[in-house]
A and B are shown apart, each in its own frame.
Chain A
Amino acid sequence: MQIQVARRRIADAGAAGDNQDRGPARPKLGETVMQKTRALSLSRRHLLAGGAALGVGAGLAGGRGLIAPARAAGRTLTIADVGVGDPGGDWSRFEKPTGNQVNLVSIGNAPSAVLNQLIAGGGRSAFDVINIVGGMQKPLVDNDLILELDRGQLPNWQGNSYIERYLAPRTPGFQFIGYQDKIYGVPTVLQGDSFAYLPDETGQLDSYGALFDPKFKGFVALEDNYTTAGQKTALFLKHSGQAQITDPADMTPAEVKTVVDFLVARKQAGQFRLMWSSFEQAVNLITSKEVHVIDCWEPMVFAAKAKGHDAVYAAPKEGYLLWAMGAYVVNNPDQSEADRKATYQLLNFMLGPWYGAKITLLRGYMTNPKAPEYAKAHPDEFSPQEAARIAEITAGVQKKFEQGGTWQNRWPTHVDVYEEEWQRFKSA
């Protein structure tokens, strides 16, 4: 109060000598307000108005044309992909023969990311195809988000031996492309996961037990995902006889609790350095030697090797965690007959040899049987080293499938319990 009064007195006295050499210009009371600011007012008003008009106009009207691929003679297909299915941005071998265009949008792989996009985010009308790790058919079908596949429109489906061998109906692999005996997904990628280690630090390892071995305390990382890390732990516990688990792919609540109890005990003993949740992070962990044993995906080992580091992807005696990626047709209410036809053309292309070879080369996953021969037969598109690499990768993954293990289950019956228990593990 005292200060306000003092201030009024000073102001009223019309103190000359403005001591403020900083901050916005304050018109003195003695001066006419208008004189001081007239010069600025006009330009500012115009700037604000003009800028707003420009921005809104350009953004809404022109923006679409600037950004969305122009509607050429063919259709424009939008595919939502988790990053794996992108052949380096080069869809020319699809676009040229069919006259269609492909617009690829990156989305996350977590169930919530996928479903949120489709259910809440209006993604149904935005996407034609969605290419994600399979196993999510139940929520997708129950929510009317994907359509059953019309295999008649996919010539490349016949003769794809992988589908017959690994993804046949009534086998666990079917879960990745089908649901209730109907087929929904086009298997674009097949793979088996285990874990990676640095042989210089740990020597040769051949069992998931290495992840829990006190020898490597504080130098182990797990993936923050109960359907991968959790399932691998269950596989290990079952094989080593430490727990009674009927099927690691679909555990009962009691079994889940046992697995998590085990993990919590190891965590509290300081076994794990961290839980990782992204590709980049995992690769860094390997190349920086932050951890010596890490539950991860094979492409990370490839990336680390490419940077010159010696990492090995293990061949554990308990077997691998097998999975496949599926491309699904989105139940898009805005799709016309022509769009639908173009969609099947795209899916067929993704089952094709060139796409398969490209993806195998770029990501290190197995795709379709014709890929290695195609690469070898087309030295103009794939150099001999690349073709050899593709063949090597394919052979490696096939070996994994021969050995078997457990098929990853992205949507177990008691997934709620999985999630609750995993939270318990993380908060322990």
Chain B
Amino acid sequence: MHSRRWRRPLRLAPLGLPLLAIAFLILCPLAITLAVSLFEKKGFWIRPALSFEAYRLFFDGVRLEVLERSFWVASSSTALMLLIAYPIAYLVTYRLRPELTRGVLFLFAVPFLVSYIVRTFAWADLLSRTGFINRLLIASGLVRQPVDWLLYSDFAVYLGLVTAHMPFMIFPIWLALSAIDRRLLEASWVLGERPSATFWRVTLPLSLPGLFAAAIFGFVGSFGEVAVSRILGGTGYQLLGNAIGSALDVLNYPLAAAVSTIATGLMLALLLLWYRLFDVRLFLGKIMGRA
């Protein structure tokens, strides 16, 4: 059966050609970015060269802190988002009537019809000193003066990040959870495990593919964030995307490319780590006989 497939190379073309085209369109820009980062800045454009000037400028300057901060914010916000998205996905999978599933999932997607930039600005509106939330707090007597740290603070940035990216994460987790064979869960109960143990030892491990996909979505979203930091961050809350934009504003393409290359490199390193810890083949379908 399998050998019949291999004797027909024509069969592979429909898969191979698109893949080649995709790879080309993805890898070329990456190569261009890497190349530009090694070029020299000449006037307002660049000159092909092999120079690490851009990298030196990056590591010597304040941008390194920006990188560290971006990394920290992305990791912590991703963890927070997972803690929110997972229970929701769990609820939708196991406690919701089946007819409602599609509707509820769509409900989470609907807010994206409004540009997330507009929604972020709306948060600035709601959290401001004379905004809805402050007015509510004052009217209910909980505070006497408007709360300043609601806006232009870490709190606001995390809130913005979570509402912008968390809904993306619900779907992969739900997919993974709903694909778990119920009979496995029942088998676990039959074998005497309590519900919480069933969750930790059966449900969670089997939902790992979805969990990792969700983590990637969240991390990548936060790491490359540009708008939330500008709108909700306050006095120059700088994340990586802002630093790149700023370098571009002075047409320092090599520097911008260098920052991008470093960011990409970091994330690829994380990806490799994921590969080590996680059997990617689990993504490709349940294969008989493997644990």
Contacts and interface: CB of A to CB of B under 8 A. Distances in A.
Do A and B associate with each other? yes
Interface in A405-428: 415-416, 418-420, 422-428
A138 B238 CA distance: 29
Q: Give the size category of B's interface with A.
A: 35 or more
Interface string B111-130: 00000000001001100111
Interface in B111-156: 121, 124-125, 128-131, 148, 151-152
Interface in B250-278: 250-252
A288 interface: yes
Given A224-B230, A284-B124, A275 B236 contact: yes
B128 A139 contact: no
B82 to A, nearest CB: 23
A252 B2 CA distance: 72
Interface string A258-298: 00000000010000111101001100100011100000000
Contacts of A115: 44, 251
A419 B246 contact: yes
B159 interface: no
Contacts of B237: 426
A19 B186 contact: yes
B98 A22 contact: yes
Interface in A236-252: none
B249 A111 contact: yes
A423 B243 contact: yes
A218 interface: yes
B182 interface: yes
Contacts of B184: 3, 6-7
Given A143-B45, A288-B125, A289-B130, A274 B235 contact: yes
Interface string B152-181: 100000000000000000000000001101
B45 A7 contact: no
Interface stretch (B11-19, B59-67, B72-80): B59-67
Contacts of B87: none
B48 interface: no
B247 A138 contact: no
A47 interface: no
B54 to A, nearest CB: 12
B93 to A, nearest CB: 8
B202 interface: yes
Nearest to B291: A1
A398 B252 CA distance: 37
B250 A416 contact: yes
A281 B252 contact: no
A111 B235 CA distance: 21
Contact of B121 (A116, A281, A419): A281
B187 interface: yes
A23 B250 contact: no
A110 B125 CA distance: 25
Contacts of A19: 182-183, 186
Interface residues of A, number: 48
Given A111-B250, A416-B252, A426 B152 contact: no
A377 interface: no
A21 B98 contact: yes
B61 A420 contact: yes
B62 A423 contact: yes
Interface in B11-64: 43-45, 61-63
Contacts of A168: none
A423 B250 CA distance: 12
A123 to B, nearest CB: 15
Contact of B246 (A142, A422, A428): A422
A288 B130 contact: yes
B148 A10 contact: no
A420 B58 CA distance: 10
A422 B235 CA distance: 12
B282 interface: no
Interface string A21-48: 1110000000000000000000000000
B231 interface: yes
B248 A277 contact: no
B238 A419 contact: no
B61 A112 contact: no
A119 B44 CA distance: 11
Nearest to A1: B291
Given A281-B121, A419-B250, A427 B130 contact: no
Contacts of A274: 152, 233-235
A20 interface: yes
Nearest to B127: A290
B235 A284 contact: no
A112 B234 contact: no
A4 interface: yes
Nearest to A419: B250
B189 to A, nearest CB: 12
A20 B182 contact: yes
A15 interface: yes
Nearest to A225: B249
Given A289-B130, A290-B129, A426-B235, A419 B291 contact: no
A288 B188 CA distance: 57
A418 B246 CA distance: 11
Nearest to A287: B130
Contacts of A4: 289-291
Given A426-B235, A427-B236, A3 B130 contact: no
Interface of B: 43-45, 61-63, 65-66, 93, 98, 101, 121, 124-125, 128-131, 148, 151-152, 178-179, 181-184, 186-188, 191, 202, 230-231, 233-238, 242-243, 245-252, 289-291
12 contacts: A3-B184, A3-B187, A4-B289, A6-B184, A19-B186, A111-B249, A224-B230, A267-B236, A275-B234, A284-B125, A426-B242, A427-B238
Given A7-B184, A139-B251, A427-B65, 6 more contacts: A23-B178, A115-B251, A273-B235, A288-B131, A419-B246, A427-B66
Which 5 interchain pairs have the tightest Cβ spacing? A426-B236, A112-B248, A139-B44, A274-B234, A419-B250
Interface of A: 1, 3-4, 6-7, 10, 15, 19-23, 110-112, 115-116, 119, 138-139, 142-143, 218, 224, 267, 272-275, 277, 280-281, 284, 288-290, 415-416, 418-420, 422-428
